Chains A and B, each alone.
Chain A
Amino acid sequence: MTAIEAGTELPPLQRAVTLTDMVAYAGATWDWHRLHYDPGYLAERGLSAPVVDGQMLAALLAEQAQDALGPSAFLRRLQFRFRNLVFAGETVRCTARVTACEGLADGTALVTLAASVGVVGADARVAVAPAHLEVHVR
């Protein structure tokens, strides 16, 4: 693990989100909203493809921070705003940068991160921004 200080970029997390992944996520969260898989429902609303559950993108931000800051890190806060929908088959990329690393009296540290999620490829756009994370690194 590289030194954590203000300005450190975490390794980016990039993932293709297939319809199969979305069906798995819908099952794992007991969320059977038709927006995530039903072509008839989508067509009635002028949407060309199933919509990725936005909170799945938050899961990726949490994964990126946990992987970068190690198994003993504890995510204390994750705050984010949605900007654009993501559709089945698109690839997203999470980027995160350390904005502060505050040493605590017990030798642990509180790391804050500024992050975002973007869609990469032909129709590149912002999906989630800004995102703010606070991680207790023990």
Chain B
Amino acid sequence: MPLLTDDLRARVGEIRAYTAAEPLSRASIRYYAAAVGDANPLYTDRDRARAVGWADVIAPPTLLCDSNQYLGGTERDADGFAGHSWGIEPPNCRMVRGGNDYVFHRPAYPDDVVTVTWRLADISERTSGAGQEMLIVTSEATFTDQHGTLLLVNTETIIHIALGEVDA
């Protein structure tokens, strides 16, 4: 049975947008930098950030790409995950991350109230070199601030790999 059904194919182009309940905040920026182990003062010292032309401390570039703060954490799935999901779960498959392409336009500041617009950009099917069927889901997340200024675009690839033996 093909992984790529007509129902799934019809979903390409779907859009979901979320707006954070509050500004990103200095605390979130400091917490993320501390968790990564990145001591760069650009993330914690306003004077050092201003010295290189930024308006305030900036967020480490990958913070917005990976944080689910904009969703608020009130809804978790059975895996404990509280981020955006299309709910695409082909039967008898395991999910792996393929990769990401982050394009940054301007660093995020503590006062930014972020809106994230997810678009289901593409769903395709492929057979791996080992003969496993794979469903490849590509999503594009566009991040803007409360004035509509573009912060970044994250294009993300998720791969669902069929489990078990492949029929001859």
Contacts and interface: CB of A to CB of B under 8 A. Distances in A.
Interface in B50-78: 51-53, 60-63, 65-69, 71, 73, 76
Contacts of B65: 55, 58
Contacts, number: 116
Contacts of B66: 29, 31, 53, 55-56, 58-59
Interface stretch (A65-73, A99-107, A118-126): A65-73
B81 A27 contact: no
Given A28-B31, A30-B68, A74-B104, A59 B53 contact: no
Give the size category of A's interface with B.
35 or more
B61 A29 contact: no
A30 B164 CA distance: 33
B83 interface: yes
Given A28-B31, A38-B80, A71-B48, A80 B61 contact: no
Contacts of A30: 67-69, 71, 73, 82-83
Contact of B37 (A15, A41, A66, A72): A15
Contact of B80 (A25, A32, A53, A63): A32
Interface string A15-35: 100000100110111111111
B62 A59 contact: yes
A62 interface: yes
Contacts of A41: 79
Interface of B: 28, 31-32, 34-38, 40-42, 48, 51-53, 60-63, 65-69, 71, 73, 76, 79-83, 96-104, 107
Interface of A: 15, 21, 24-25, 27-35, 38, 41, 53-56, 58-60, 62-63, 66-67, 71-72, 74-82, 138
